[in-house]
Amino acid sequence: MTAEERITLRLPAKSDYLDLIRLTLYGVATKVGFTYEEIEDMKVAVSEACNNAVLYAYAGRADSEPAGEMEVSFVRAGDALSIVVRDEGDSFDAASVAQKAEPLHGKSIHDIQAGGLGLYLMQALMDEVEVRSEKGTEVVLTKRLVKSGEMA
């Protein structure tokens, strides 16, 4: 197993920077060996995690205050790539959200409330999703590289 490799971006928590994060993910994931489809899934998942930081982490701040920051790290360890999205804003209680969530099965798209779907989407697109909320929020999205001949 190779040593862990890490690339970290520290950016203002603004949607203007999501393209930079997605481009960096594309470059890193391509070097690791992920397929185009896998990279597109990862881009959607990381966009959801970053959007949560942009929309909710610093929502209580006045417009006159400087924008908060988010840190996005791309960590390769062996055949896995983890994307860590961290902010220092208001914490997010993932366990509480999961308990309150209603099953989506059998509902039409019009019956589903906006908001709260991001976590489901991240879990559907990634192999592993961890949410830690001590000071701020940290979301760890992990995708493992499936080698040719292995079953997913």
**pLDDT over threshold 90, residue 6:** yes
CATH architecture of 5-144: 2-Layer Sandwich (3.30)
**Among 98, 86, 102, which residue's Cα sits nearest to residue 46?**
86
Specify the higher pLDDT residue, 30 or 103.
30
Q: What contacts 2, CB < 8 A, 6 or more positions away?
A: 76, 77, 78
**Among 80, 75, 58, 61, which residue's Cα sits nearest to residue 11?**
58
Provide the whole-model pTM: 0.79
Contact 141, 126 (CB under 8 A): yes
Contact 73, 40 (CB under 8 A): no
Tell me what the pLDDT averaged over the chain comes to: 82
Domain boundaries, the chain: 5-144
* pLDDT value of position 108: 52
